[in-house]
Amino acid sequence: MNKYQDDKKYPHSKITEKIINLTFKVFNELGYGLAEKIYQRALAIELENSKIIFKRECYGAISYNGSTIGKYFLDFLIDGKVAVELKVRNEIYKSHVSQLLNYLKSRNLQIGLLLVISKDGVKIKRLINKISDYQRNKSE
């Protein structure tokens, strides 16, 4: 199995590389064509086996003037730092990118991974929240 390694400097690059490699491991074992929940459960097992701290299906709410105006469930929150959305599609859609960016902003997270299981393999999109507190503090 080839290991995914990224030469670029991304926030939390060590943990994101581990997550990506575990997703490839799941894909190599299960192949393509199963339900999204199956891949999510398999990834959860791999995260547990790797002793990576995570939460699954994290509820989130978006409020405005004291009223909840939106609700969502994030597939995975890894180590309190990395949002992960796992999809089973053949393409990365703009709606999925927007969805993950909303999660990053609402949770004030710096980085997220959109991992798409496709017939051609795992497609990866790393998203950086440029308005997170971390990014603001870094530029000051």
> Which pLDDT does position 140 carry in this prediction?
44
Structural domain harbouring 33: 13-139
Burial track 36-72 (b if 16+ CB lie within 10 A, e otherwise): eeebbebbbebbeeeebebeeeeeeeeeeeeeeeeee
Confidence of residue 7 (pLDDT cuts 50, 70, 90): low
Q: Confirm whether 6 is domain-assigned.
A: no
Q: Confirm whether 29 is domain-assigned.
A: yes
**Which CATH number belongs to the domain containing residue 38 in this structure?**
3.90.320.10
Residue-wise pLDDT tens digits, 29-83: 999 999 999 999 999 999 999 999 999 999 988 889 999 998 999 999 999 999 9
pTM for this entry: 0.84
Answer yes or no: are the C-beta atoms of 103 and 83 closer than 8 Å.
Answer: yes
> Which pLDDT does position 6 carry in this prediction?
55
Q: Tokens standing for 12?
A: 């939390």
For 25-120, list the strands marked E by DSSP.
54-64, 67-78, 82-88, 111-118
Residue 137 host element (H or E): helix 133-139
Residue-wise pLDDT tens digits, 96-127: 999 999 999 999 999 999 999 999 999 999 99
Q: Confirm whether 4 is domain-assigned.
A: no
Q: Confirm whether 2 is domain-assigned.
A: no
Is pLDDT above 80 for 130?
yes
Burial class (CB in 10 A: 0-12, 13-18, 19+), 31: exposed
Is pLDDT above 50 for 1?
no
Query: How far is residue 21's CA from residue 50's CA, in Å, rounded to a whole number?
Result: 11
CA-only gyration radius of the chain, Å: 15
Is pLDDT above 60 for 17?
yes
Q: Confirm whether 5 is domain-assigned.
A: no
Q: Confirm whether 70 is domain-assigned.
A: yes
Quote the number of domains for the chain. Answer: 1
